[in-house]
Amino acid sequence: MRKSSFGLKVLAAGTAAMTVLAMAACGGDDKPAQSADGELSGELSVWGWGNGMKELAEAFEEANPGVTVEYAAQSNASDAAMKLTNAIAAGKGAPDVCMLEDAMVSQFAVQEGIIELDQFGAQDYADDFVAGPWGKLQVNGKAYGMPLDSAPEVLYYNKAVFDKAGVTEAPTTWDEYYEAAKKIRELGEDYYITNNAGFQPFTAQAWQAGGHMWTVDGENLTIDMTKSEGMQRYIDFTQKLIDEDLINVRINAWSDDWNRSLNDGTLASLTIGAWMATNLKSSAPEQSGNWRVAPLPKWTDGGENGSEDGGSSFTITAQAKDTTLAWAFVEFATHGEGAQVLTDEGGQFPSLKSILNSDEFINADDEYFGDQKINQVLVEAANQDITQFQYLPYTQYATTIYPDYTGPAYMGKVRLEDALQDYGEALAEYGEQQGYTVTLK
């Protein structure tokens, strides 16, 4: 319901961009979606990152002997997005298939850098994927990406450290989390429950608190960083952690210090996407056996606890030479045999229900996590009913400048509320420069 009215308004607005897009979608090649049955041939260039991608490319080549896949590994999600931006601006150099973080998909769809996939029948697969990631890839009611991994936000915590601090149960509400944070802080000067983690956890937690910091309705954006009840709840809580020195503001996520402090136990937990499991093993090998997974703490007892953090998808770029071949690969990787390859070889947390709900997947226990059946927790989190996520059409920029504004707040120089209001103003100004109509609250 919501999706269709959203689409209608955009069509009513009738911008040139959308019209061209729609025409390309309808009037373009009417080739039927072809399944990977060995009749395909040619070369296919693919950009991606993470584990298991090479194996995926090999599996596709094996299934289609005439096809050569040129896989170019990107260092991370933002790197891939930046390179694709450049290739689109240059008009050449983009791959046929590009892996993108879910949040980036709407941005590239609006820029017409990637093509909609309903023309190949993507919509038929809607029910086969978990609702969260699938919903994030729909732009104006059409699929622009096929989900790879799913990223329900969960709490990874170091049980050994929690036990030492006298926290025997994982916190189920944010109030309990706050109490746990105080106890862990008492362990010593380096011990913290978590660190200043940046943009993705901010969106995930604020969203979970009920704060919809941005609402996208075609060309109309509403930015509300501080005024809604949900945002106030998130801000008050985070400010309390900062004021009482319960959050490590000196360590940035994905830095060398971050890996080291996860490894020596001084960083005791992370609220992060389900995909962290495989990263933890390489970041913190010395803590093997100590880490556990729990559902994300709730704001109220019995309240909604679902949220999403990251997740990625395969998209087909507008520069793709052979879209039939590109779609065959995307289909193979997300809905076909490839999805299993990525789960098995890449340790990816799948968004395909058939794998997610398979006994083999759910009941896998993991030595690293003290033989906890972590997938049970993760799958439960993935199947949560999540209020549909929305992203700004310029997420890349929003992500980049987020630390400029919140950094000083975490360092105690300004109040988080003021910092976020300034951030909202900067985003509103940018949106207007880009031609959107922005309402700033």
Partner 1 sequence: MAGNLGTQAVASGSAVRVNKHKPDWRGWKFMWPFAVVFVLVFIIPIFYAIYISFFEKRMVGGTVFVGIDNYIRLFGDDQFWASCGRVALFTVVQVPIMLFLSAVMALCIDSMKLHGAKFFRISTFLPYGVPAVVSTMIWGFMYGSKYGLVGSLNDLLGTNIDVLSPDVLLASIGNIVTWEFVGYNMLIFYSSLSTIPHSLYEAASIDGASEWQIVKSIKIPELKGSLAITVIFSIIGSFQLFNEPNILQNMVPGNAITTYYTPNMYAYNLSFSGNQSNYAAAMAIVMAVITMAIAYAVQLNSMKEQMK
Query: Does the footprint of partner 1 cover residue 410 (CB under 8 A)?
Result: yes
Residues 6+ apart with CB under 8 A from 139: 105, 106, 109, 110, 116
Q: How far is the CB of 269 from partner 1 (least distance, A)?
A: 18
* Strand, coil or helix: 375: helix
User: How distant, in Å, are the alpha carbons of 332, 354, 364 from that of 361?
Assistant: 20, 10, 5
CB 35 within 8 A of CB 331: yes
36 closest CA partner among 120, 148, 137, 129:
120
Report if residue 250 touches partner 1, rule: CB under 8 A: yes
Among 377, 393, 428, 438, binds partner 1 (CB under 8 A): 393
Nearer to partner 1, 251 or 294 (CB): 251
- Distance, in Å, from the CA atom of 388 to the CA atom of 350, rounded to the nearest integer, reads 19
We find the least distance from the C-beta atom of residue 392 to partner 1, in angstroms, to be 11
Q: Judge contact between 63 and 353, C-beta under 8 A.
A: no
CA–CA distance, 7 with 217 (Å, rounded to integer): 9
Candidates 40-48, 130-138, 289-297, 392-400: pick the segment binding partner 1 (CB under 8 A). 392-400
Kindly identify the residues of this chain, within the stretch 108-167, that bind partner 1 according to CB under 8 A.
110-111
Residue 111 vs 376, nearer CB to partner 1:
111
What is the closest distance, in whole angstroms, from the C-beta atom of residue 82 to partner 1 in the complex?
A: 5
User: Pick from 124, 360, 371, 404: which binds partner 1 (CB under 8 A)?
Assistant: 404
Residues 428, 439: Cα–Cα separation, whole Å: 7
Q: Exactly one of 1, 2, 12, 16 binds partner 1 (CB under 8 A); which one?
A: 16
Q: Is residue 9 involved in binding partner 1 (CB under 8 A)?
A: no
Q: How far is the CB of 98 from partner 1 (least distance, A)?
A: 16
Return the closest-CA partner of residue 325 out of 74, 73, 29, 53.
Answer: 29
The nearest distance, CB 240 to partner 1, in angstroms, is 18
Q: Is residue 261 a contact point for partner 1 (CB under 8 A)?
A: yes
By C-beta, is 87 or 277 nearer to partner 1?
87
- How many residues at the interface with partner 1, by CB under 8 A? 41
Closest to partner 1 by CB, 327 vs 402, is 402
Residue in 318, 324, 320 with CA at minimum distance from that of residue 66: 324
Instruction: Count CA atoms closer than 13 A to 388's CA, side-chain side.
Output: 15
Tokens representing 351 are 């968004």
List residues binding partner 1 (CB under 8 A): 15-17, 82, 85-86, 89, 110-111, 190, 196, 219, 249-252, 254-257, 260-261, 393-394, 396-397, 399-401, 403-404, 406-408, 410-411, 430, 433-436
